[in-house]
Amino acid sequence: MLRTRSNRSTLALQPRGQMKYETSLLLLVACLCSGFFTSCTDNSVSGLDASPWVQTSATGSYYSASCFAVSTPDLFVGTGGSGVFFSSDNGVRWFELIDVEYRPQVVFDVVVKPNSAGGLDLFAATYQYGVLLWTNTGTGWNAGTGWNTVNTGLRATHYVFALAVSDTNLFASTDSGVFLSTNNGTSWTEVTNGLTNTYVFDLFVSGANLFASTGDGLFLSTDQGTTWTVVNGSANLFATAFAVSPEGTNLFAGIDGGGIFLSTNNGTSWTEVNNGLTSLSVSDLAVSGASLFAGTLDGGVFLSSNNGTSWTTVNSGLTNSNVQALTVSGTNLYAGVGDGSIWRHPL
């Protein structure tokens, strides 16, 4: 099961402090106008851009593709105003997970996690409803349980920005800190010891390490959230996207307005890796083998095949450079783009 970080560019950061509620809402409204693209590569830079992006079917959503989750063969996408859609055929057809009680939904993040009954749970981090849960009992997602709120113990259910799975644990980041559930969302416990700012807008798991991006920069927990230490290095990193190389040694952080940084020591130090990256507004990162992809808000998609040493564009056929989200699923690279279309190009 592969998951990439979702776009956090809709959230306006105040330097060394918390994000302002009013600014967040204004930028949230401004980004509710994009859709999906899918792209492919033949594992060479020239082949990638030589094969153009091709338009496929539409989800029916007119809102931004803010995040992705993958549970093969299913691909899930959360939108900036019309809930969650899924496809089991590489985007040829999309189906909305409809529940009249909980719509419309502004979805910041989605994750899929096995449950104790042998089925799958889909969690959505939302603006209106906190954390939502949809369970597939084995008869398909359309025949699932519908959306249910799972917010017991959460101090803030207005803004839940990100979700992360580490072993059997589920983490949620909110405007009041990080929360842990050990029972698939039935209850939550606050885990903020060491965080100097509890406005936490992104989470990322790399092995035993859990990273939290906050208004005071980047923090690391090596004990499932029990304690946190700052890992900004010489920079003050307000990361909006994360990715890790397949071998787990290279950690990448994308910054909206700052480009991409690389750490080879679990965040102790960071190096800027922006050579060839003509847009520094990084919204999302995705990895496929030795290929690292970066989605940007005004420059389209970029590719690095050398751990960020250099970057080239992968935009042939792409009619909108406002890329909101990226993920890899099977033989496709998917990207949410700002004009509401869906595109596909096999790997």
Contact partners, residue 107, CB within 8 Å, separation at least 6: 66, 67, 78, 79, 80, 83, 84, 124, 125, 126, 127
Integer Cα distance of 156 and 60 in angstroms: 31
Tell me the domains of the chain and their CATH numbers: 21-344 (2.130.10.10)
Collapsed DSSP state (helix, strand, coil) of residue 154: coil
Q: What is the pLDDT of residues 96-126, one digit of tens each?
A: 998 888 877 899 999 999 988 888 999 999 9
Lowest mean pLDDT among 50-59, 157-166, 177-186, 206-215: 50-59
Please give the mean pLDDT across all residues of the chain. 81
Integer Cα distance of 347 and 121 in angstroms: 28
Integer Cα distance of 285 and 326 in angstroms: 6
**Rounded to an integer, what is the distance from CA 266 to the centroid of its chain?**
20
Q: Show the 3-state SS of 9-61.
A: CCCCCCCCCCCCHHHHHHHHHHCCCCCCEEECCCCCHHHHHHCCCEECCCCCC
Q: What is the pLDDT of residues 208-229, one digit of tens each?
A: 999 999 989 999 999 999 999 9
Q: Work out the burial of residue 67: count CB atoms within 10 Å of its CB; fewer than 13 is exposed, 13-18 middle, 19 or more buried.
A: buried
Q: Work out the burial of residue 33: count CB atoms within 10 Å of its CB; fewer than 13 is exposed, 13-18 middle, 19 or more buried.
A: middle
Comparing CA positions, the residue from 97, 6, 51 lying closest to residue 332 is: 51
* DSSP annotation of 6: P
pTM across the whole model: 0.85
Bridge partner residues of 38 (DSSP):
334
Lowest mean pLDDT among 96-100, 160-164, 167-171: 96-100
Integer Cα distance of 59 and 327 in angstroms: 17
Collapsed DSSP state (helix, strand, coil) of residue 163: strand
177, 192 contact by CB (below 8 A):
yes
